[in-house]
């Protein structure tokens, strides 16, 4: 099981700020969790999270246990049982 926490606009799509996903296959990566989420939440999540090339929009950061996946193995970051994946919109201010 992996815990997924979402913030900002994603909470409206998910209907909650946190959910648990069973990742019962060998490819336990951030990418596999995102694929499960895309199947579960469909086009509204795809439009919000992905750009026209299918990559995560630059306005979102994804963390695994508090560490940015950009500093790890990106979408190929391996997940362990009970890891937490957080999807955060970047906040700018002035």
**Each residue's pLDDT tens digit, 9-65:** 899 999 999 999 987 667 899 999 999 999 999 999 999 999 999 899 999 999 999
The pLDDT tens digits of the residues spanning 54-88 come to 899 999 999 999 999 999 999 999 999 999 999 99
Residue 4 has pLDDT above 80, yes or no: yes
Whether 2 shows a pLDDT value over 90: the answer reads yes
Domains in the chain: boundaries? 2-89
Residues with Cβ within 8 Å of 9's Cβ and at least 6 positions away in sequence, in order, are 48, 89
User: Model-level pTM greater than 0.85?
Assistant: yes
Contacts of 68 (CB under 8 A, 6+ apart): 61, 62
According to CATH, what is the number of the domain 2-89?
3.10.20.30
In this predicted structure, the answer to whether residue 93 has a pLDDT above a threshold of 70 is no
């Amino acid at each position: 099981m992996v815990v997924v926490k979402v913030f900002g606009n994603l909470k409206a799509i998910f209907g909650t700020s946190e959910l648990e996903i069973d990742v019962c296959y060998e490819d336990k990566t951030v990418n596999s969790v995102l694929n499960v989420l895309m199947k579960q939440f469909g086009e509204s999540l795809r439009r919000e999270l992905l750009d026209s090339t299918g990559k995560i929009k630059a306005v979102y950061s994804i963390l695994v246990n508090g560490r940015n996946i950009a500093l790890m193995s990106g979408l190929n970051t391996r997940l362990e049982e009970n890891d937490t994946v957080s999807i955060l919109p970047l906040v700018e201010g002035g």
